Structure 1
Amino acid sequence: MPARTNEWGQPVGEPVPQWRPSPPPSGRTLNGRHCRLEALDPERHAEDLYSALRSAPDDRDWTYMGDGPFSDAGEYRLWADKAAARTDLLFYAVVDNRSDRAVGTVSLMRQDPANGVIEVGNVMFSPLLKRTAISTEAQFLLMAHVFDDLGHRRYEWKCDSLNAPSRRAAERLGFRYEGTFRQAVVYKGRSRDTAWFSIVDSEWPTLRDAFRTWLAPANFDTGGVQRRTLAQTRAGLID
């Protein structure tokens, strides 16, 4: 497709005449079959979250996080109080619908409503949530809120370029790798090169259909094992 040009023959981007700034996330509860996302409330969630996170055999999950690990429940509660009070980002607790307990956290951050851009970050999923349908549904609920409810154009995922599990998770969920920003961040006394991933609104309809198909009960056997992976499901819709 030939590039658009202006009156001086310079290449320019596609016009978006109907674009209006997107609203910021409201913090309302996002409900799914397996889980729900609630705005982080330390009074209701902190104790469950600390218990779930401490079920990990060691502290390796905190290596690439900006905060943590936490020495005790009181220290975690102090973090949760500060996180919930922040106005520059919105933390959610991921609540397992079966147990009615919070088992992980995630946030919407670097909010840019004027350009319809927002980032998912601070993903800390406990062992009770990892590699379950809950973890995938939690990410889907947040994506659907960003694109369908708020009308954003771009959804970002960033991580330490050395964080292989985070990179794999981004790609599994349908994010596209865009490049690495060298020496972008200093945290925990270390330099970080930041890997950038994104989903844009034109890609969302296919991804949404793939998530819905993958999460459907028919995709799981009686033992709860998936019949098709998310990548296979997505590929089947594209072919």
Structure 2
Amino acid sequence: MTRPVGPAVDSYPAKLPPSTSFTGRSVRLEKLDPRHTDDLYEAIGLPEYGALWNYIADGPFQDKEAFIPYIERISKSQDPYLYALIDQKSNKAMGFFSLMRIDQPNRVVEIGFVVFSPLLQRTTAATEAFYLITSTVFNDLGYRRFEWKCNDLNEASKKAAVRFGFKPEGVFRQHMIVKGQNRDTAWFSILDSEWPALSESFEKWLDPQNFDAEGKQRSTLVAFRGN
């Protein structure tokens, strides 16, 4: 009796996230460090930004005194491994995200812990930051699968995942309890075989010629993918 099996795959492990910085035209990614605390508190930690933390296991924060030890703690984490997003014009940290659930043997990693300043959301810098980290995941670290998971109620996150080229894989019902609330989790992924075409669409979208004098896009990222 025989049963089907998957194709053979090289079994070398993927690499761990690097501590080096990644620089684009509008944004720079740096390993999260306590030196980013002041900028991050002003960008995402103030009480009026409490809604940014709705779908994050931590936060919001009552004041800066509560925020400081939080950044100190998560900056030491190896999984999730966090990066601060630095605006190139102001040289200030405007948010952070992480590579997490790092599975080196199976070469699978997830983007998560995404908290961006409202000033960074839906900007060229946010898209470029995603492009920089995804290029690193596939081209430099050797992962086969890049995952995006979010609360199924988080419509903005789900739209961003699709815009960036992640493919929806379904919803894990009653997957987690977060802050005493049920979380159904929507799953998305990009495979290494899909990245070359997606990378080309990002490069075309990020080309300065795709933006007018006011910085508005001429063609959408999705248009460059042809879907």
| TM-score, length of structure 2 as denominator length | 0.96
Distance across 2 between alignment mates of 1:40 and 1:12: 42
Paired with 2:46 and 2:212, the residues of 1 have a C-alpha distance of 27
In structure 2, distance between residues paired with 1:114 and 1:54: 36
38 and 112 in structure 1: CA distance in 2 versus 1, 3 angstrom threshold: same
Confirm or deny that 1:63 pairs with 2:30: no
2:87 corresponds to which of 96, 112, 121? 96
- Correspondence list, 1:1-239, <5 A: 8-16=1-9, 18-42=10-34, 44-53=35-44, 58-235=49-226
CA, structure 1 residues 58+35, in 2 after alignment: closer, same or farther (shift >3 Å)? closer
Q: Structure 1 residue 180: deviation in Å? A: 1.0
2:84 is matched by which residue type in structure 1? A
Q: What displacement does 1:15 show?
A: 1.2
CA distance, structure 2, for counterparts of residue 53 and residue 37 of structure 1: 17
Structure 1 runs of 4+ off > 6 angstroms?
none
Answer yes or no: is the 8 Å Cα contact 2:45–2:64 preserved in 1.
no
> 2: distance between equivalents of 1:227 and 1:51?
32
Shift of 1:75: 1.1
Counterpart Cα distance in 2 of 1:119 and 1:113: 12
SS at match of 1:191: strand
Match of 1:28, as an amino acid? T
CA distance in 1, matches of 2:29, 2:49: 26
CA-CA distance at 1:88 after TM superposition:
2.2
Which of 59-68 and 166-175 deviates more?
Answer: 59-68
Please report how far the alpha carbon of residue 57 of structure 1 lies from its aligned counterpart in structure 2 after TM superposition: 5.2
Gaps of 5+ in 1: 1-7
Aligned CA RMSD, in angstroms, stands at 1.4
> Distance in 1 between the 2:106 and 2:131 partners?
22
> Alpha carbons of 1:35 and 1:58: their partners in 2 closer, same or farther (altered >3 Å)?
closer
In structure 1, what is the Cα distance between the partners aligned to 2:46 and 2:80? 27
Q: Relative to structure 2, which stretch is displaced further, 119-128 or 80-89?
A: 80-89
Contact 1:55/1:127 (<8 A) preserved: no
Amino acid at match of 1:123: V
Q: Amino acid of the residue matched to residue 32 of structure 1?
A: G
Distance 1:57 1:89 in 2: 26
Q: Secondary structure at the match of 1:12?
A: coil
